[in-house]
Amino acid sequence: MSSPAFPSPKSKASAHGTPVLWEALGDREHLQGIDEYVEAGGYEQLKRALTMDGSAIVDEIKASNIRGRGGAGFPTGLKMSFIPKDNPKPKYVVCNADESEPCTFKDRELIERLPHMLVEGCLIAARAIGSNHAFIYIRGEYYEPALVLMAAVEQARAKGLVGDDINGSGWGCEVIVHRGAGAYICGEETALLSSLNGYRGQPTVKPPFPAVSGLYESPTLVNNVETLATLPRILGMGGATYAARGVERTGAGTRMMSLSGHVNRPGNYEMEIGVPLRVLVEELGGGVSGGKQLKAIIPGGSSTPVLTADKLDTNLDYDSMVAVGTMFGSGSVIIIDEDTCMAQLALRVAEFYRHESCGKCTPCREGTKWTVDMLTRLVGGDATPEDLDTIYTVGERIIGNCLCPLGDSMAMAVNSYIDAFREDFTRYFEPGFQPPASSSLTDIAQRTVAAAGVSKPGVTWAHEGLSRGSFTPLRMAADGVEGDAHG
């Protein structure tokens, strides 16, 4: 049976070394149809998991040494083992498909190309922790990926792989695709759970951690799309084999890296963990665009501290990134060329965090606004050297004093630009200094958008006949069966 006419994947990912996720694709463009996925060995690991005890699955994940791909890099098997077995409440799996970190677009491509692998991963995780409900919380702007996912769930249901008595095992699990409303903070796990619970999407204090009290105040496993999509692959090859992948042993396996900014070939690249940044930027990305010099690299999404060009030989792994003062983060690498003004970039980044601050705690709510105001004055030529010191001090007072890491993210990013490129800020105090006509930010935005395959910055629902908020029930031609997205 041919694949139904769902939206095609937008970006083109490639792999370096031996891929784990992309290996499942073979030479196919995508595996959106369940027949094609099953033919490629799909849902075999779910069937195997159905014969396994939950703790045996958790042991396999622990043996794989995989760390979460959402940003914090917490060991996945360990997190699963935190779900209490003796708690009488229902347990939940929540897949974090919010993917709002600027310049991160890997989960989108995974969903578009391998939606069933994510559904299978959610089911395996649910089986492992003794849950009967898995929610996939997908950002509102990911309209087409949400369609692809909902269709995948319905296809799986039609084959008896989602719902009651999966494959005649006596065990059942519902998979629910839930669309968010487009707030960056809803990627933070407690804010996501608040939103899913029907409240305002704002973070809550930890502890309690979601593993103890999450969705509906019940034990909840929250994992990123890529983390969960990798689970069928780990079961398939065995935890120990997966653990042997990757150059460094600080969290094994491969990672999807979203490469964007001033680079010749932006896009998603699946790479073994521990490969030097230089391989990603020069070999895969084709080097800095326009023949320009590399000025800086943001290695793990906009919330991670910047690296100077001389750090290009640092390995892309959790520990090596920390050793050079930054983080592996969400796995999105932003290339910045010599023409970019870091003061203007700082303003742009601060504006993003100010806009996305949920306002719940003072240092973030006020500090992000003050920082934007002061940076605006600075790049407008109206600031004094003392103002630059104040920007830095405000950052220091935000760091470590917020309810969630959003405020820290802005402060750490901005202060790292000041530390590494102070001259880009102080030159605005020189009499007669002419600010660069362009900080190349438009160019960065355009390239990022091109890499993510979207038609307008920040707008990913540009599907004919649909506009933001118009999520009317859709007819889905899933495997020839006309279905309704809302059941």
Q: Which chain residues interact with ligand SF4 by CB under 6 A? A: 185, 202-203, 357-361, 364-365, 402-404, 406-407
In angstroms, give the least distance from the CB of 204 to ligand SF4.
9
Beta carbon nearer to ligand SF4, 192 or 403: 403
Q: Which of positions 329-388 make contact with ligand FMN (CB under 6 A)?
A: none
Longest dimension (CA), the chain: 77
> What, of ligand FMN, ligand SF4, none, does residue 100 touch, CB below 5 to 8 Å by kind?
ligand FMN
- CB-CB contact of 6 with 148 (8 Å): yes
Q: How far is CA 278 from CA 196, 287, 297, 448, 481, in A?
A: 40, 9, 11, 19, 48
d(CA 352, CA 302): 10
> What, of ligand SF4, ligand FMN, none, does residue 309 touch, CB below 5 to 8 Å by kind?
none
> What, of ligand FMN, ligand SF4, none, does residue 134 touch, CB below 5 to 8 Å by kind?
none
Output the CA torsion 136→137→141→146 (10° steps).
20
> What, of ligand SF4, ligand FMN, none, does residue 187 touch, CB below 5 to 8 Å by kind?
ligand FMN
> What, of ligand SF4, ligand FMN, none, does residue 68 touch, CB below 5 to 8 Å by kind?
ligand FMN
In the chain, the N- to C-terminal Cα span, in Å, equals: 23
Which residue reads 């030479």 in tokens?
Answer: 27
- CB-CB contact of 139 with 182 (8 Å): yes
Residue 112 burial (10 A CB sphere; 0-12, 13-18, 19+): buried
In angstroms, give the least distance from the CB of 201 to ligand SF4.
10
89-118 mask for ligand FMN (x: CB under 6 A)?
A: -------x-xxxx-----------------
d(CA 259, CA 281): 8
> What does DSSP say about strands 332-337 and 294-298: parallel, antiparallel, or unpaired?
antiparallel
Q: Which residues contact 265 (CB under 8 A, 6 or more apart)?
A: 259, 284, 285, 286
Q: How far is CA 286 from CA 151, 265, 269, 306, 336, in A?
A: 36, 6, 12, 21, 14
In angstroms, give the least distance from the CB of 64 to ligand FMN.
13
Q: Say whether residue 405 binds ligand FMN (CB under 6 A).
A: yes
- Give 333's strand partners: 259
In angstroms, give the least distance from the CB of 12 to ligand SF4.
34
> What, of ligand FMN, ligand SF4, none, does residue 402 touch, CB below 5 to 8 Å by kind?
ligand SF4
In angstroms, give the least distance from the CB of 107 to ligand FMN.
7
| Tokens (6 digits) for 315 | 């390995």
In angstroms, give the least distance from the CB of 317 to ligand SF4.
27
- CB-CB contact of 246 with 274 (8 Å): yes
- CB-CB contact of 162 with 183 (8 Å): no
In angstroms, give the least distance from the CB of 146 to ligand SF4.
24
169-188 mask for ligand FMN (x: CB under 6 A)?
A: ----------------x-xx
For ligand FMN, the binding residue among 144, 154, 189, 317 (CB under 6 A) is 189
Helix (H, G, I), strand (E, B) or coil at 402: coil
In angstroms, give the least distance from the CB of 397 to ligand SF4.
13
Beta carbon nearer to ligand FMN, 221 or 341: 221
For ligand FMN, the binding residue among 10, 30, 62, 69 (CB under 6 A) is 69
> What, of ligand FMN, ligand SF4, none, does residue 340 touch, CB below 5 to 8 Å by kind?
none
Q: Which of positions 190-229 make contact with ligand FMN (CB under 6 A)?
A: 222-224, 227
Number of residues that bind ligand FMN (CB under 6 A): 22
Q: Which residues contact 479 (CB under 8 A, 6 or more apart)?
A: 1, 4, 33, 34, 35, 155, 158
Phi, psi values for residue 294, rounded to 5°: -75, 130
Helix (H, G, I), strand (E, B) or coil at 212: coil
Beta carbon nearer to ligand SF4, 407 or 453: 407
In angstroms, give the least distance from the CB of 353 to ligand SF4.
8
Q: Which of positions 49-68 make contact with ligand FMN (CB under 6 A)?
A: 68
In angstroms, give the least distance from the CB of 222 to ligand SF4.
16
For ligand FMN, the binding residue among 74, 171, 209, 370 (CB under 6 A) is 74
Phi, psi values for residue 267, rounded to 5°: 155, -175
Q: Say whether residue 141 binds ligand FMN (CB under 6 A).
A: no
Beta carbon nearer to ligand SF4, 271 or 414: 414
Q: Tell me which residues touch ligand FMN (CB under 6 A).
A: 68-72, 74, 96, 98-101, 185, 187-189, 222-224, 227, 404-406
